[in-house]
Structure formats: C-alpha cells, structure tokens
C-alpha cells in the first residue's frame, strides 16, 4: 500500500496519529478523479480554520492524490485526505493521502442505536478523528445484523448514521434532519439539496422521529463516497427503484465527468 505524507510517497500503512482532533475527508473516485474535490477541500479548510490548524490546498496535493490512487490500483474507489495535528504543536499538521477499495454493499441495512456521546468527542458537525462514538454506533448496529446504525438523539430525534446522512421519503418528499449542530453537514447531502431545488424531485429538511421510519415509503443512506444508496431497516425491503430514479438521478447528474 502507498500513502502520501507531506509531499512524499511512502510504502506501508504507517499513518501518523495524534491525540488531538484530526479532521479528514473521504471521497468517491471515478477514473482517478474525485468529482467533488473542491467541496471537500472547502470543508477541510473550514475545519482546519476552526481547529487552528495550518493547511494550504496546493496543486501538488491533487497530483499526490492521483499518484496514490494509481499506485494502489484504486482509481475507481475511495480517497481519504487527512490533517493529523503534530503532537506538541499548536498549529502544525501532517497532510496525509491514502486510498482503499469501495464496499460492495448496494443496499444499506439500518438499525436505530442509542450511544452516549462523550463530552471529549469532536463536535458532531465536524468530520474528524477520533471516531469512537461512531465506531460504537456502527458496532451496535452490526451486532444487530445491520450495515450501519442510525444515531438517535436524547430527545428521540433521528440525526444521521455512523457513515452518512439519512433520508426518508414521506408523503412524496425526501427529507433529511436539519443541521442543528448534531448532524454532519455532508457533502452529498448538500449536493442533493441543491440539485433538488432545480429539479422535479421534492427535497427538504425537517426533524425526524422513530415513527417516521415506519411511515416512510422509501429510505436512503447517503455520503460522498457512494452517493444515495437504497436503505431499509433490518428485516425489511428497500425501495431500490424509487431511490435510484429520484435521488440517484440527481447524484449522477452532479458527479458526471
């Protein structure tokens, strides 16, 4: 495996670690190109500024990404871009590029979970390590034979999943929980909302509850690696066609090369 750290290509998987909050981005790649690269850089830059980390998106970063993808044979897979704070420094961070294969899962089985978020965890609206909270959500879901877990707030609100944003189709409208500080402002989420505004697919934001899960006529799991994928609760069937024809078409238009 080849990784890129601070401008150098290295063999192995020895990625720098830090005790501090470390923001990162994961993005889907097609033909060696990350179609939403600019949006990911913008979000990572905002996170770096929020955390007081130094980060400059130089042209060599993109060429480094291509080198990693080519050497690892992942030109149609997943790219990860991370900022890893240097322990003992207030602003310095290693810039790391790595890649991996896509998951073969096409339909995501979901399970509501109840996990306590530690006060020391990164803010929910920041994509960052450590991810112990989301790891616990995912483990609880997998213990229940699901692929991912739905994060349920203390007030019973459905928020997101460990690996993406949640969409429910209610009364003909696709809705996703609002960004109230407890939900990651996902790249794919924003793309769908923007595209939906100019298309014939009704999309919006609203608070969701457990009862909405059973009233929805379709469900989708969404992130910037896979876009919107059909989803369902464990033991139920996903509305594959509806998701693909409505949300899937918006995503393909947005990411087409």
pLDDT digits (tens, 9 = 90+) for 18-44: 889 999 999 999 999 999 999 999 999
Q: How far apart are the first and last CA of the chain?
A: 27
Rounded average pLDDT per 10-residue block, the chain, 257 residues: 95 86 97 96 97 94 97 98 88 96 97 96 96 98 98 97 98 97 98 90 96 97 98 98 97 89
DSSP class of residue 245?
I
Question: Which pLDDT score, from 0 to 100, does residue 250 have?
Answer: 96
Reduced to 3 states (helix: H, G, I; strand: E, B; else coil), residue 221 is strand
Q: Count CB neighbours of 33 within 10 A.
A: 18
Fold: same for 2-100 and 108-255: no
> Would you list the domain boundaries of the chain?
2-100, 108-255
Residue 23 host element (H or E): strand 22-28
Torsion sign (Cα): 163, 239, 103, 38: negative
**From CA 27, how far away is CA 124, in angstroms rounded?**
19
**Structure tokens given for 170:** 């209610």
Instruction: Name the residue among 185, 226, 184, 188 with its Cα closest to residue 78.
Output: 226
Instruction: For residue 37, give Cα distances in angstroms to 27, 62, 74, 125, 190.
Output: 8, 9, 16, 19, 14
Q: Count CB neighbours of 230 within 10 A.
A: 21
Question: Which pLDDT score, from 0 to 100, does residue 13 have?
Answer: 79
* 64-99 pLDDT tens trace: 999 999 999 999 999 999 999 998 777 999 999 999
Residue 99 host element (H or E): strand 93-100
Question: Which pLDDT score, from 0 to 100, does residue 17 have?
Answer: 87
Question: Which pLDDT score, from 0 to 100, does residue 197 have?
Answer: 84
Question: Which pLDDT score, from 0 to 100, does residue 94 have?
Answer: 95
Using an 8 Å Cβ cutoff, are 107 and 229 in contact?
yes
CATH level 3 topology of 2-100: D-amino Acid Aminotransferase; Chain A, domain 1 (3.30.470)
pTM over 0.85: yes
CATH level 3 topology of 108-255: D-amino Acid Aminotransferase; Chain A, domain 2 (3.20.10)
């Amino acid at each position: 495996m080849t990784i890129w750290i601070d401008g150098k290509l290295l063999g192995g998987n020895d990625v720098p670690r830090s005790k501090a909050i470390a923001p990162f981005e994961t993005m889907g790649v097609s033909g060696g190109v990350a179609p939403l690269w600019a949006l990911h850089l913008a979000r990572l830059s905002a996170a770096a500024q929020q955390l007081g980390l130094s980060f400059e998106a130089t042209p060599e970063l993109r060429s480094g990404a291509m080198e990693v993808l080519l050497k690892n044979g992942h030109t149609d897979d997943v790219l990860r871009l991370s900022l890893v704070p240097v322990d003992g420094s207030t602003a310095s961070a290693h810039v790391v590029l790595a890649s991996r294969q896509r998951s073969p899962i096409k339909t995501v089985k979901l399970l509501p979970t109840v996990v306590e978020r530690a006060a020391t965890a990164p803010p929910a609206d920041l994509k960052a390590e450590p991810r112990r909270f989301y790891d616990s959500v995912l483990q609880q879901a997998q213990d229940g034979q699901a692929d991912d877990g739905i994060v349920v707030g203390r007030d019973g609100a459905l928020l997101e999943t460990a690996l993406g944003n949640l969409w429910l189709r209610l009364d003909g409208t696709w809705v996703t929980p609002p960004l109230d500080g407890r939900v990651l402002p996902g790249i794919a989420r924003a793309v769908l909302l923007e595209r939906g505004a100019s298309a014939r697919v009704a999309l919006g934001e609203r608070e969701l509850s457990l009862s909405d899960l059973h009233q929805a006529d379709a469900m989708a799991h969404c992130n910037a690696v896979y876009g919107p994928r059909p989803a369902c609760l464990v033991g139920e069937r996903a509305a594959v066609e509806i998701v693909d024809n409505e949300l899937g078409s918006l995503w393909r238009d947005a990411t087409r090369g």
